[in-house]
C-alpha cells in the first residue's frame, strides 16, 4: 500500500534543519518536514519565573511558546493576537513542547536562567508540534553550545504516528492526519527513552497491540531525526 | 512496600459514585476517589455548535468544561472567573474530557443535540481529570437513559498510574503525584480498548517496559471502576 | 393564603448547615435553604490587600467571591471562567457579601490577615445571596475559632423578603422571586441591628408601610437562622 | 450643629439642572449638586436587547451606563477603557440607575425601543449615583416629550442620606460620605413611593429607628428635587 | 466658493478656551472649535513609568489618554469601558497627542514626574484630535505655571486641513471631513516649527503641490490658535 | 559623511523580494531590506466586513494585520497572543498598511471580497512598516493576477527617511532610527502621487525646508523599489 504522497507506511517525509535562521536569538533553526515549516528560536534570559523564586526552587527553567502565522494553513486562521487569546490547541501544544524540552537539559546546571523556545509555524501540513519539539531541541542545543552553558544533556525529538484506513503509518501529513482513526505523538531522548506518549482515538478505540506497532514505527523514524540533529550540531 | 495511605501499589483508593446529585441537569453524579470529589453534570441542549453547521457535519456533539472550586486545594487557587481566563491546565483537561466522552456515544444517534458535561472539583487530592472522565461518563449515560436517547454505546473510565520512587503504582494521590517520576493517564472503554494514553516523564525518561507495566496496572484498576459504574446505571 | 410549597407567608423554608464540608479551607460549611445549596469556605492568608498597605490602613480585611456552578439553575448558565468575566450580578453579590461579613469581625483584631470567603452555589432556587451571607458568616466564625483568632464579634445572617401577589412573604423561592413586585434582602447582626437593607421595586413602587411589614418579617426569620448558626458554633 | 460646608443636617446642597447640554442625543442635561457634576444623555434606539426577543418579552427597555472622567476625583482614577474593564463599583451603580429609571416609564408604551441613559461624571464630590438617577430621569423625560413617546409615567429622583458623627444628615458631600457610619441611597417616584432603598452600615450596624429618621430626611430632600425637575420639564 | 457653514476655505471655525473647567486636576480647560468640545485635564504625578526606571532614563514623562462620551456623536458609539478595550482609532489618537505634547516641555526639567493629559470629547463635530492637542497643551502649561515647574518650553497646537471637492480647506467640520479626498493634521510649535505632519489620501493620492497648499493653510490657522492660547496663559 | 553600514545618505539598503514564499495564500512574498525581513501574505475571502453590509457600501475591502515574531528583535518582545492584546504600535501600523493598500485597488472592481494582508516580521532592523507596505502591495498584486481579479490599479510602496545627526537620510536602519531627530514614512503610488506622509519630530521640531528635503530623498528611493516590484510582477 502506498500513501497520498507515494511514501511507504514506515517512511518519513523529507526533513531538513537550517541552523542560524534568525539574526538575534541565542539559537535558531528553520525546520522542514514535508510541506510543514517551523521557525524555532531559543532566547536566554538571566532570570527565572516568579514561582521558582516563591517556591525557592534552584536552577533554571525552560519554557515554550507556539504560534502559527494566520496564512500557514489552507483556510486562514484568525490571528491569536487580534483574537485576544490563545486557543486551547495552542496552549496544549506549547505546554507539551516545554515539558519535552525540559528533559533535554539539567535544569540545575542551567543556572539562574530561563530559556524560552519560540516555535512559529510558517507553513502547516501536519506534524507541527513534532517539528517544533525536534527543531526546538536543536535551537536549544545551539544556544547552550554558543554560550558555553553545560546544561544540555541529550537530544530530544518527536514524531507523529497514526492509523489511517486501518494501516499504522509514520509521520502523517495533514490529509492523513485528518483521516486518522488513531493519532499518536511520541517524544523520545536520543538514548531511546520515552518522554511523552500521547495516543488518542480520533474515531475508534485501539488495542494494546496497535499501540505497540505505532511505538515501533515512531522509534524507527526518530532514529533518523536524531541523526539529522547530530549532523547539524557538529557545526557548533 | 506500602504507600503513604497504606495501600499496595496495585490498589485503588476508595471510589464511590452518588447519582442525581444536582436538582436541575439531565444527569449528574458526585464522584469520590479517596479525598478527591467532583460534581459531574450532563446538560442536553437542542442545538449543535456553529462550526458543525458551517461544515455541514451531521449528528450531535459532546463537550466538557472543567473547573475547580478555589478552596478545593491545600493552597487556595485564584478563581478563574475573576482572573478573567482559564489556565492552560484547565483548557488541556477539559479538551481531554471532551475527547474521551465523545467515544462513549454514537454522535450520529445523538441527533442535533449538544451534551455539555460540567466537571467541578470540590475537593482535590490527585486524579481529578480521571475522576471527571469516569464521573462524566456516568452522568452522560444517565442523561441518555432518562431522555430515551439511544446514542450511548459503552462506558468510559480513566485512572492515573505512575512511577514513584521507582515503583509503578495505581491511582496516585496528590502527594504521590507530586513525587512521581512518570505520570500517566489511561482512558479506556468498558470493552477494553484504549481511548487515550498520556504518559509523561516528569523527572526522568522511561522505557517501553515501564510503559507496559503501567498499562497493566491501569487495566486492573479500570475493571473495578467499570463495575462500579455498571451498578449505578442499573438503577436507570 | 398558602404558598406554592405549602408554607405560610411568615414561614422559612427548611434551612440546614453542615460544617467542615471541605477538606482544606480554615472553615467551611454546606448551607441549604429549601432547594438552594451553597458551599461556603473561609480561607485565611497572612497578608492584606495592596491598597491597605498603600493607604497605611492597619488591621486585616475580609472579602468574598461568589460563583454558581453552570448547572445549578433550571437553564444552564454560561461558565464565567470560560466567558472570561464575571457578570454584573456576580460582582454586585460578592460586594454585598464582603461588606456584610466585615461587620462580623473587628478588623483590627484580625491582624495583618485577609479572610477570603468563597461562596459557590451548587443548586439555585432563590435566596442564594442570603444563604451565602448566612453560611459565609458561619464559615468565618469557625475559621476564627479553629485558629484562635479573637476577631469574631457577632453572627451575621441574611434573609430575603418580598411582596408576591400583594402579600408580603418571607424567604422567597425562585418561583416566588420571579413573580415578586417588591424584593428585599435584609442583613442583620445577631444583636438585632441592621447591616444592609436592599429593597427594590421590581414591578411597582412601594410605600413606607410595606417596607416596615417586610422588615418585621425579616426579623422574624433571622431569629431562627441565628439559632441554627449558634447551634453549629457550639461544636467549635 | 453645622456641617463642613455650613449646611444644617436637613439641608440639600445647591442643585441645578441645565437641559440640552449636548448636541446629538435625544435628551440631555448637565446636573450639578454642590461640586458634583454629571452629564446625562438619553439615546433612543429602534431595537430591543437580544434577550427580550429570545424570551418574547414585548415592549421596550431602558438601561444605563455610568462612567467617570479620570480627572473627576481628587486623586485621578484609572480610565476604565484603558484598564479593559469596568470596576465592580461602576457595574453596581449602572445596574441601580437602570432599575430605577425603568420605573419612570411604561415599558409597554415605549414600544420596540431601547432608551440608553449615559451618565458621565465630570466632577465628583459625593452623591454621583443619586445625581445620575435624578438627571437621567430628566433626560429620559425630555427625550420622550421631544419624540412624542407617551411612555413616560412619572418623575424619579434619588438622594443620599447618612449618619455622620452620630447625626443623620441629608445629601452627603464626599468628605461626609467618607466619614459616615451609615450610608443610604433612596430612590423615589414623584408620587411618593419607594423604588429602591439601599442602606449600608459602613462602620457600625444601625437600628430601625435610625432607618426611619434617614427615610424622613430623604423624603424631605426629594420633594425639592422633584420641584426642580418639574420646572425644567415645563419647557418641553 | 463657500462652505456648508458659510466659511471661506481659509477660515477657522469659532474657537474658544475656558480655563479651570474642572475642580481637581492641576490644569484643565474646555476647548471648543465649532460644535466640537473637549475637556482637557493635566494631572501631575510624582513618579515616572516603569520603563524609564528600567532603562535608566532621567527626567519626566508626558503621556495622554483620549476618550469620547458615547453620546458625543450623531450615532451613539459603544462605550469603550464596557466594550473592554480601546479602539484602534483611540489608541492611534492618544499616541499622537502624547508625542506632540512631549515637544512642549523639557522633559529633563520636568523632574521625576509624569504629566498625564486626559482629553475627553463631549461633543464631536470633526477635529477632535487637533482640539485635544491644542487644549491639552494649554492645560499642560497651566499645570506647570501653577506648580512652578520650569519645564514648559513653548506652546503646541494642531489643526486639520484637507481637500474637499477639489478645494483645499482649513479646519474641517465632520461633514467636510467625511467627504474629504485628502485629510491632514498638522502639529506645530508656536515658534513655527513642525512637530507632526500626517497627511492621508482618503480617496485619491495627492501631489507635492497640494501638500504645500495644505501646509500653508494650516500655518495660517495655527497662528490664530496660538494667539488664543497666549491670551489664556496670561492669566496664570 | 558615511553611515554606520557604509551607505551614503541617499542610498537604499539592499532590498529583495521573493515571491510565492508560502504554500497556501493567494499571494505571498518574503521581502528583505537590509537585515529586516517580512513575510507578506494576501488572503482572499468571498465576503465583506459586517459594517459594509450595515452601511450598504458596495464593492470589496482590503485590510491588514501586522505582527512580529517575539525573537525578531535584539531584545525578545512579549508575544502579543499570550499578552492577550495587540500593542498600540501594532494597531497603528496595521491601520497604516490597510489604508495604504486600499489605494492600490479599485474597491468597486474587487467585488464582494475581502483581501486580508498579513505582514509578519521575522527579523527586525528598522523600516518594518515600510517593508510591510511594499511587500504587501506586491502580494496583493500577485493575488489579483493569479485569480484574474481586475481590481489592481497601480503599485504602492513606502520608505522611511529621517534626520540623523543633522543629516537627512534615506531608509534608516534600527540604529539610525533610534538616534533620529526627525522620522518620516512616505507612502506613494507608482505614478508618483502621495498616499500618506507621516513626519514626526522625535527629538526636535523641524522646518518646512527639512520636510521638503526628506520628501525628495523618499521619492528617490521609492523609484528603485517600484522597479523591483515591477520585475517581480512580470512573472505573473
A112-133 residue pLDDT tens: 999 999 999 999 999 999 999 9
- Cell numbers at residue D201, please? 452600615
Q: What are phi and psi of B64, to 5 degrees?
A: -145, 150
Q: What's the pLDDT score for residue A167?
A: 96
Residues of A in contact with B59 (CB under 8 A): none
| pLDDT of F76 higher than 80 | yes
Q: What's the pLDDT score for residue D144?
A: 96
Closest-CA distance, E155 to chain F, in angstroms, reads 12
* Host H or E run for residue B72: none
What region does B180 belong to: left with phi over 0, alpha with psi -120 to 50, or beta?
A: beta
Q: What's the pLDDT score for residue A5?
A: 87
Is E76's CB within 8 Å of D45's CB? Answer: yes
Rounded to whole angstroms, the Cα distance separating C222 from C232 reads 16
| pLDDT of D135 higher than 80 | yes
| pLDDT of D232 higher than 90 | yes
Residue A141 contacts residue A193 (beta carbons within 8 Å): no
Is A193's CB within 8 Å of B201's CB? Answer: yes
Give Cβ neighbours of residue F168 (< 8 Å, ≥ 6 apart): F9, F161, F162, F210, F213, F214, F217
In 3D, which of B53, B56, B31 has the Cα closest to residue B42?
B31
Residues of D in contact with C207 (CB under 8 A): 193-194
Q: What is the mean pLDDT of residues E103-111?
A: 95
In 3D, which of D212, A168, F184 has the Cα closest to residue E194?
F184
D158 Cβ under 8 Å from any chain C Cβ: no
Size of interface A-F (CB pairs under 8 A): 96
In 3D, which of C130, C225, C224, C121 has the Cα closest to residue C177?
C130
B4 Cβ under 8 Å from any chain A Cβ: no
Q: What's the pLDDT score for residue C35?
A: 95
Instruction: Give me the residue from B95, B193, B197 closest to A92, CB to CB.
Output: B95
Q: What is the mean pLDDT of residues F11-19?
A: 97
Residue F47 contacts residue F112 (beta carbons within 8 Å): yes
Q: What is the mean pLDDT of residues D117-139?
A: 97
| pLDDT of D1 higher than 70 | no
Residues of D in contact with C208 (CB under 8 A): 194, 215
Residue B230 contacts residue B222 (beta carbons within 8 Å): no
| pLDDT of B1 higher than 70 | no
- Ranges of residues in chain C with a pLDDT under 50 are none
Q: What is the mean pLDDT of chain D?
A: 95
Using DSSP bridges, classify how beta strands C27-33 and C15-19 pair: parallel, antiparallel or unpaired: antiparallel
In F, minimum Cα distance to A120 occurs at F69
Q: What is the mean pLDDT of chain F?
A: 95
Specify the range with the lowest mean pLDDT, choosing from C169-173, D14-18, E75-79, F83-87: F83-87
Best of D92, D186, D200 to substitute, by most chain C Cβ atoms within 10 angstroms, is: D200
A77 Cβ under 8 Å from any chain B Cβ: no
| pLDDT of A1 higher than 70 | no
Q: What's the pLDDT score for residue D85?
A: 85
Q: What is the mean pLDDT of residues F133-159?
A: 97
Residues of E in contact with F88 (CB under 8 A): 91-92, 94-95
* Residue A84 banded pLDDT, cuts 50, 70, 90: confident
Q: How many CA atoms lie within 13 A of D33 on its CB side?
A: 30
| pLDDT of E181 higher than 80 | yes
List pLDDT tens digits, range E58-86.
999 999 999 999 999 989 999 998 888 89
Q: What's the pLDDT score for residue E1?
A: 60
pTM: 0.89
C132 Cβ under 8 Å from any chain B Cβ: no
Specify the range with the lowest mean pLDDT, choosing from B2-11, B215-224, C148-157, E124-133: B2-11
Q: What's the pLDDT score for residue C1?
A: 60
Q: What is the mean pLDDT of residues F195-221?
A: 96
Best of A91, A100, A218 to substitute, by most chain B Cβ atoms within 10 angstroms, is: A91
Give Cβ neighbours of residue B92 (< 8 Å, ≥ 6 apart): A88, A91, A92, A95
E45 Cβ under 8 Å from any chain D Cβ: yes
Q: What is the mean pLDDT of residues B158-180?
A: 96
Q: What's the pLDDT score for residue F1?
A: 60
Instruction: Give me the residue from C83, C116, C122 closest to B39, CB to CB.
Output: C122
What is the residue whose three cell numbers read 485569480?
F147
| pLDDT of F21 higher than 90 | yes
Rounded to whole angstroms, the Cα distance separating A92 from A109 reads 27
In B, minimum Cα distance to C29 occurs at B71
Is F79's CB within 8 Å of A72's CB? Answer: no
Measured between its terminal Cα atoms, the distance across chain C in Å is: 41
Q: What's the pLDDT score for residue E120?
A: 97
| pLDDT of E26 higher than 90 | yes
Size of interface B-C (CB pairs under 8 A): 96
Residues 86-115 of C with CB under 8 A from B: 86, 90
Q: What's the pLDDT score for residue D215?
A: 98
* Residue D66 banded pLDDT, cuts 50, 70, 90: very high
Percent of residues, chain A, with pLDDT higher than 90: 91
Is E125's CB within 8 Å of D65's CB? Answer: no
Q: What is the mean pLDDT of residues D183-211?
A: 95
Best of D71, D87, D90, D123 to substitute, by most chain E Cβ atoms within 10 angstroms, is: D71
| pLDDT of B2 higher than 90 | no
Residues of D in contact with E43 (CB under 8 A): 70-71, 76
In 3D, which of E18, E30, E66 has the Cα closest to residue D122?
E30
Q: What's the pLDDT score for residue C77?
A: 92
- Cell numbers at residue A174, please? 495533514
In 3D, which of F163, F164, F141, F174 has the Cα closest to residue F211?
F163
What is C37-94 written as a DSSP string? Answer: EEEEEEEEES---HHHHHTT--S-EEEEEEEE-GGGSSSPPPPHHHHTS--HHHHHHH
Instruction: State the chains in contact with C (3 or more Cβ–Cβ pairs under 8 Å).
Output: B, D
- Cell numbers at residue C225, please? 437562622
* Residue A2 banded pLDDT, cuts 50, 70, 90: confident
C181 Cβ under 8 Å from any chain D Cβ: no
Q: What's the pLDDT score for residue C132?
A: 98
Residue D130 contacts residue D158 (beta carbons within 8 Å): yes
List pLDDT tens digits, range A29-81.
999 999 999 999 999 999 999 999 988 999 999 999 999 999 999 899 999 98
| pLDDT of E173 higher than 70 | yes
Q: Quick one: CA dihedral A176, A177, A182, A187, positive or negative?
A: positive
**B95: DSSP letter:** H
Amino acid at each position: 500500500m502506498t500513501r497520498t504522497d507515494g511514501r511507504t507506511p514506515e517512511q518519513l517525509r523529507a526533513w531538513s534543519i537550517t541552523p542560524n535562521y534568525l539574526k538575534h536569538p541565542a539559537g535558531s533553526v528553520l525546520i522542514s518536514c514535508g510541506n510543514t515549516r517551523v521557525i524555532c528560536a531559543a532566547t536566554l534570559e538571566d532570570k527565572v519565573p516568579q514561582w521558582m523564586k516563591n517556591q525557592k526552587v534552584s536552577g533554571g527553567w525552560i519554557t515554550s511558546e507556539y504560534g502559527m502565522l494566520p496564512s500557514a494553513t489552507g483556510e486562514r486562521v484568525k490571528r491569536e493576537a487580534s483574537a485576544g487569546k490563545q486557543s486551547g490547541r495552542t496552549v496544549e501544544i506549547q505546554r507539551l513542547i516545554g515539558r519535552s524540552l525540559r528533559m533535554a537539559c539539567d535544569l540545575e546546571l542551567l543556572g539562574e536562567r530561563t530559556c524560552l523556545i519560540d516555535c512559529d509555524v510558517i507553513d502547516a501540513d501536519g506534524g507541527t508540534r513534532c517539528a517544533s519539539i525536534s527543531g526546538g531541541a536543536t535551537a536549544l542545543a545551539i544556544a547552550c553550545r554558543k554560550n558555553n552553558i553545560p546544561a544540555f544533556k541529550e537530544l530530544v525529538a518527536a514524531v507523529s504516528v497514526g492509523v489511517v484506513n486501518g494501516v499504522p503509518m509514520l509521520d502523517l501529513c495533514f490529509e492523513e492526519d485528518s483521516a486518522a482513526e488513531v493519532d499518536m505523538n511520541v517524544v523520545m531522548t536520543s538514548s531511546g527513552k520515552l518522554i511523552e506518549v500521547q495516543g488518542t482515538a480520533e474515531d475508534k478505540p485501539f488495542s494494546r497491540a496497535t499501540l505497540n506497532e505505532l511505538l515501533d514505527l515512531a522509534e524507527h523514524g526518530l532514529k533518523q531525526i536524531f541523526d539529522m540533529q547530530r549532523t547539524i550540531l557538529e557545526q557548533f
